[in-house]
Structure 1
Amino acid sequence: MEEIVLLHTNDLHSHFENWPKIRRFLREKKTEQTIDKSIFTVDLGDFVDRWHPLTEATDGRANVQLMNTVNYDAATIGNNEGVGNSKSQLNALYDEANFDVLLGNLYDPTTGKRPTWTKTHKILETPSRTKLGLIALTAPFPLTYEPNGWDIRTVDEVLPALIQEVRSTCDVLVLMSHLGIDQDMKIATKYPEIDVLLGSHTHHLFRYGEKINHTQLSAAGKFGQYVGEVRIFLENGKIIETSAEALSTESFAECVEDAAEIEGYLEQGHKLLKKKKLAKLPYELSHELDSLHPVIFEALKAVKKRGQTTAAVLNTGLFLGNLPKGVVTEDNLHQLLPHPMHLIRVTLAGADMIRFIREMEKNRHFLRKFSIVGMGFRGKIFGDLVYDGISYDKATKTAYWDGQELEADKSYTITTVDHFLFIPFFPTLELAGKVEFLFPEFIRNVLGDYLRRYYPINKKA
């Protein structure tokens, strides 16, 4: 009997606090290989997340260097790699990778071909000549991939051809999925040719795996809290049994030097970002709304300018600190706004804009202290809604646009962060709005460009 062990990491999101333990575990596992037992390791995407200063300072290349230390057999990308980087940054991300990047549904619209840093599939062969075929897909978000210069395709557009291309060349077919639990369930039902489906993106956890028909599913949560393990038993190249388990990294061996290594990644990132000076402020910009100089007011001006709109709206919870008086660096800005958020420009009919404003006013008090996690948000609470170019009279329930009462039959365009589109509190944006994503900058880059222009550093200083 032959055994194949598939180990997978996923959705690390630059949470390096578990990385030393994971690295040791994966390396030690490799030493357990025998002629009848093969061990392969893959990553399912979102290893990179720009909330971490070292990731931000190196455009994710430091993450790839860490991945190189465990000699992954293959990896794919998540949305944090795909839309958290500009097209040029993503095209350079894996230049020094010692592993193959597999991806079957991302294309360059200018060439009509897949990017040169990807492969459609990979065949791994065991000492017994059993062939393991790997294919990979990432979550298709056309609203964000297309303005970032990519053509992202759906599962049903590409998966049948991938299966046809690879299935006949291997004994075991594995899908590395960064699609999410709902899509994974559908795929396992619709495409029985897939023997093993490694899942990620929605941070779901299958503690002891799941099976749909004959497809073995595995999922290992997020942030390196687990490592996924799939065991495949074969006789004469035919699968006779499979199992899966998510192994808790809390139980992995820890060394005394781990804490210093983890802290060192933070320190190195901060050091690199501090070298990049942006602007020189005449006074501190505070995250407190009732302060003398709230930073959100400068951010709203920057957002309006980038979106070329009369009005903008942001929330105070985005701002996680202050910008100091004097020289401001990219480190200050990154600590203030660590979120991988892009801006959106939304056009609404006047009646719908009024409804959007009323949605904000209705939820204002609730959101002020509301804890929110994910969907690009890297803070703690949503906070206060703050307008620029909009005002609202609660007594008469009248909305004003640049001092004039909004007219129901006119068209209005506002700029805000994409987070407003993803959370459930403002449905009018998605249901009635014409939404345009502004790429490639994050909100911190937009504010940084604004400060650089209006608060320039004295070159003689």
Structure 2
Amino acid sequence: MEKLTFIHTNDLHSHLENWPKIRRYLDSRRRELAKKGSVITVDLGDFVDRWHPLTEATNGRANIQLMNEAHYDVVTIGNNEGIGNAKEELNHLYDEANFKVLLANLHDPKTLSAPEWCRPYEILTTKAGTKVGLIAMTAPFPLTYGPNGWDIRQPMELLPAMVNRLRKQVDVLVLMSHLGLSADLRIAQDLPQLDVILGSHTHHLLPEGRVENGVLLAAAGKFGQHIGEVQLFLDEEHRVKAAQAYTIDTEELTTFAEDAEEIQGYLDKGHSLLHAQQVADLPFTLKQDLSSEHSLIRETLKAVKERGQTEAAVLNTGLFLTEIPAGVVDADQLHECLPHPMHLIRVTLKGADLYRLILEMEKNRFFLRQFPVYGMGFRGKIFGEIVYDGIDYDPVNRRVLWQGAELDFEQEYRLTTVDHFMFVPFFPTIEIMGQNEFLFPEFIRSVLGHYLETHYPM
């Protein structure tokens, strides 16, 4: 029988503390497997995450160089590549890649075609002549892909036709999915013509895989903590006769003495590159203390209002991880303070709905003050205190004031906040009743940086 192995990684999120072990494993395991069969190495997206200073400083291109060193065969993108980069940045992210990028459900609305840096599928031929078809899909977030200049399609709009067409051309058909486990399970039910779904996005770990409707599902967790392998055994007619999936715990792989220096080197280089980007000259320290004369969050609220061109803004203190000291401000300080890949949204609400939104915030205020938040672009520890600018709340009389005046329940009001406020479940009025406009391509740190550069120039 022919033995065909897929080695897969996913959702590294720039956690380069595991990268030296992963790179060595991919290299040695590929050479070992190649002696007795064929091997295909894939990454399923979210390899890039701008929380890491080197990723931020290079717009993710340093990550692509690391992937080149690991000799991946094919990769796809996750939402961190697709939304965490401006369109122009994504269009050049893979300029130096020595691997193929697959993605079937992203299009440029101007050209009505896929971007030049990817193709929807690939057919590879093994040493034994087996034809392997690979299709890639990424999580569809039209609310954020659209304002960033992309047309993102729902997978099942495209996948059935692609699977039916490719199934006739290949012996093995694999979906590279950055869609999440629930989507993968539905796809397996609807499209049993697939042989394997290599999964990611929801950071699920399937240590021994999972068979659903005859389709083998595999997934390797998050942050490079595991590496996945799928082994297929094929007969002389190139038909799959047996399959198995398993994961390798990265922590159990051998640590080399030089690993710590390499990992620290990535951080040091990123900090150095960002430190060289000087932004502003502050005459005072912006402190995390809300009562300070020069409060960091209150200065950022001004920046957010200015970018959104609104009279009011809302943020939470948990976004701010460090203060910004007096003197020359550089991109490294802004990144340390606000590492989140968050964009701003401009929210338009009628007065009655704005009243409801503020009461939602007040109801959750004490709960959120020490509430730990994970994911959805948040890179801090706790949500923290909710802070308004341009809005006041009178708890005794349950009154909401806009610029010091009573709300008109029929009038429309516009405020600016971070997209995170729409994604967390605590303020449903934003998503249900708001007319929401995503402001691309800046992250919140870029908005603050531009404000400081304008008001406190070098």
**What's the TM-score, normalizing by structure 1?**
0.98
Partner SS for 1:312: strand
| 1:29/1:39 contact within 8 Å kept | no
CA positional deviation for 1:324: 1.2
Write the distance in 2 (CA, Å) between the matches of 1:177 and 1:275: 38
Question: Where do residues 12-27 of structure 1 align in structure 2 (5 Å cutoff)?
Answer: 12-27=12-27
Counterpart residue type for residue 368 of structure 2:
L
- The equivalent of 1:448 in structure 2 is 449
User: Is 1:177 paired with 2:193?
Assistant: no
- The equivalent of 2:351 in structure 1 is 350
Counterpart residue type for residue 93 of structure 2:
L
Counterpart residue type for residue 261 of structure 1:
E
CA positional deviation for 1:165: 3.3
Query: Runs of 4 or more off by more than 6 Å in structure 1?
Result: none
Q: Mind listing any 5+ residue stretches in structure 1 that lack a counterpart?
A: none
Partner SS for 1:169: coil
Partner SS for 1:31: helix
Write the distance in 2 (CA, Å) between the matches of 1:247 and 1:435: 43
CA positional deviation for 1:441: 0.4
Counterpart residue type for residue 387 of structure 1:
Y
Identity of aligned residues (%): 60
Q: How many residues align?
A: 457
Write the distance in 2 (CA, Å) between the matches of 1:34 and 1:76: 23
- The equivalent of 2:57 in structure 1 is 57
Partner SS for 2:425: coil
| 1:12/1:224 contact within 8 Å kept | yes
Question: Where do residues 270-289 of structure 1 align in structure 2 (5 Å cutoff)?
Answer: 270-289=271-290
Write the distance in 1 (CA, Å) between the matches of 2:296 and 2:141: 32
Counterpart residue type for residue 402 of structure 1:
Q
Distance verdict in 2 for CA 1:35–1:124, change over 3 Å: farther
Q: Mind listing any 5+ residue stretches in structure 2 that lack a counterpart?
A: none
CA-to-aligned-CA distance 1:338-365 (integer Å, 9 cap, x gap): 0000001111111110000000001111
Write the distance in 2 (CA, Å) between the matches of 1:164 and 1:307: 46
| 1:367/1:384 contact within 8 Å kept | yes
Partner SS for 1:4: strand
- The equivalent of 1:140 in structure 2 is 140
User: Is 1:131 paired with 2:127?
Assistant: no
CA-to-aligned-CA distance 1:248-299 (integer Å, 9 cap, x gap): 1011111010011001000000000000000000011012223331111111
Distance verdict in 2 for CA 1:361–1:193, change over 3 Å: same
Question: Where do residues 70-219 of structure 1 align in structure 2 (5 Å cutoff)?
Answer: 70-219=70-219
Partner SS for 1:437: strand
Question: Where do residues 399-414 of structure 1 align in structure 2 (5 Å cutoff)?
Answer: 399-414=400-415
Partner SS for 1:33: helix
Counterpart residue type for residue 386 of structure 1:
V
Partner SS for 1:372: coil
CA-to-aligned-CA distance 1:76-122 (integer Å, 9 cap, x gap): 00000001000000000000000000000000000001000001211
- The equivalent of 1:268 in structure 2 is 269
**Coordinate RMSD, CA, aligned:** 0.9
Partner SS for 2:24: helix
CA positional deviation for 1:243: 1.1
Write the distance in 2 (CA, Å) between the matches of 1:60 and 1:8: 20
| 1:36/1:128 contact within 8 Å kept | no
Write the distance in 2 (CA, Å) between the matches of 1:120 and 1:358: 46
Write the distance in 2 (CA, Å) between the matches of 1:311 and 1:11: 36
Write the distance in 2 (CA, Å) between the matches of 1:180 and 1:132: 23
Write the distance in 1 (CA, Å) between the matches of 2:422 and 2:437: 11
CA-to-aligned-CA distance 1:310-353 (integer Å, 9 cap, x gap): 11000000000011101000000000000000001111111110
